[in-house]
Structure 1
Amino acid sequence: MIAAEDIQFTHDIDPMSVAAFFVRADQERVEPDITPLKLQKLLYLAQANYLASTGQRLFASHVEAFDNGPVVDVVRRRFQGRQIIALDSRSEEISAELPADVHDFLTRVWEKYQDDSASQLWRLTHSQDPWKDAYVPGQFHTRIPDEAMRQYFTDRVPAAERIFHANVVVVTPDVFEDDAVADERLHAFLNS
C-alpha cells in the first residue's frame, strides 16, 4: 500500500514554462485564440486547481488581483497587448521540458478550458471569491493568497468541474456506505 506522504507531486516550476505550454497547445488548434488575457486566466485556473488537488503550488509565482482579474506578473510583463499570441522567439526561448505529471495536468486544464474565450474566462474568474476578496480597485500587485485559492476550489467548486492531478483519486462518501472493511482500510490509509 502507498502511504499518503509517499505520493510525489512536481511543484514550484517556472511559470513561463506553464505559459509556453498553453501557447504551444493553442498553436495546434485550427483557429488559435490565446491572448494575454486568456493566458492569465488559464494560469490562475491551473494554479488554483493544482493547489486544491495537491496542496502545493504548480508554479513558483504569486497570483495577483488586477483590474482584469487574476494575473501572474512575470508572464504579464512578457506577453502584453490584446493580440493572439503566436509562437515566436519569445515563446521558443522559454521552452522547458515539463515533468510528465505536470504535462498531464496541464493537458487536462487545456482540454477543459481551450474552447472558452478570454471573456468567458474573465467572467468565470471575476465571479470567484479568491479574486473578488483580494481585489482592490485601482491597486495592482495585491496577492491572491494560495490558501484562498486552495480552499475555494476545494470547498466551493464541485469535483466534476475541477481538474485533479493524476496521482489524486477522488472518492465520494457513498462508495464506502455499506462496506465496513473498505471504510476501515480507507481510514487506516488516511492515518498512515
Structure 2
Amino acid sequence: MATAHDVAKYFLLIAAADEDSEGLTHLKLQKLLYYAQGFHLALFGCRLFPDMIEAWDHGPVILSVWQVFRQHGSMPLPVPPIGTSVSLSAEQRDLLNDVWNTYGQFSAWKLRNMTHEEAPWKETPYRNVPITDEALQRYFQTQVTNDRPDHG
C-alpha cells in the first residue's frame, strides 16, 4: 500500500512536469489526495493509502500531510528533487494521472468549494473527524465513468 506522502510526492512531480500548472498549493494537494483516495476506493474496493481523511472547515484533509506542509501556507509547495522515487504501482500511477487530468485544472479554492458540495464532506456530522471509507466509496462510485474518474 502506498503512503499519503508517496501520493503527495507524485502529485508534486506531475504538477512540476505540467507546463500549464502554476504549481501545487497545500490546499489543492489535500483535495487531490481526497479525490485519489475516493476513486481508489470506488474502483478497487480498498484504500490507496492508510491515512484517514478528516472533514475540516476548508474541506477534506490528511493530518500527516498537513503537518509536513502547513508552513507553506498558500504558497506553491516545493518540488521534490530530480530523481525522487515514489513507491507506486503502474495501476496507482494511472489512477493518479487520471485524477490530475480531471481535477488538476481547477484552482485550490474551486476544489475546496467542490468538496463542500459532495456527500462525504457534507454528511460527516462534525468537523475534524474522519470521513468514513464507506461514505467515500459510496459517493465516488457515482462519479466513475468507464472505470475512470469523471467530473460531471
TM-score by length of 2: 0.86
Indicate yes or no: 2:85 matched with 1:85. Answer: no
Indicate yes or no: 2:31 matched with 1:45. Answer: no
Q: Post-superposition, which runs of at least 4 consecutive aligned residues in structure 1 deviate over 6 A?
A: none
Q: Structure 1 residues 108, 158: closer, same or farther in 2, change over 3 A?
A: closer
Q: Structure 1 residues 38, 17: closer, same or farther in 2, change over 3 A?
A: same
Asked if structure 2 preserves the Cα contact closer than 8 Å seen for 1:61 and 1:72, the reply is yes
Identify unmatched segments of 5+ residues in structure 2. Answer: none
Q: Structure 1 residues 97, 135: closer, same or farther in 2, change over 3 A?
A: same
Q: Name which one, 1 or 2, has greater alpha-carbon Rg.
A: 1
Amino acid at match of 1:26: A
Q: 2:139 aligns with which of 115, 136, 152?
A: 152
Q: Structure 1 residues 18, 135: closer, same or farther in 2, change over 3 A?
A: farther
Q: CA deviation at 1:26?
A: 0.6
Out of 78-87 and 28-37, give the one that drifted further: 28-37
Asked if structure 2 preserves the Cα contact closer than 8 Å seen for 1:16 and 1:94, the reply is no
TM-score by length of 1: 0.69
Q: Structure 1 residues 57, 163: closer, same or farther in 2, change over 3 A?
A: same
Count the aligned residue pairs: 147
Q: Structure 1 residues 37, 135: closer, same or farther in 2, change over 3 A?
A: farther
Across the aligned residues of Structure 1 and Structure 2, the Cα RMSD in angstroms comes to 2.3
Q: CA deviation at 1:114?
A: 1.5
Indicate yes or no: 2:60 matched with 1:73. Answer: no
Please list the CA deviations of residues 1-54 of structure 1 after superposition, one character each: whole Å capped at 9, or x if unmatched: xxxxxxxxxxx3111000000011111123423100000000000100110111
Which residue of structure 1 aligns with residue 121 of structure 2?
A: 131
Indicate yes or no: 2:101 matched with 1:111. Answer: yes
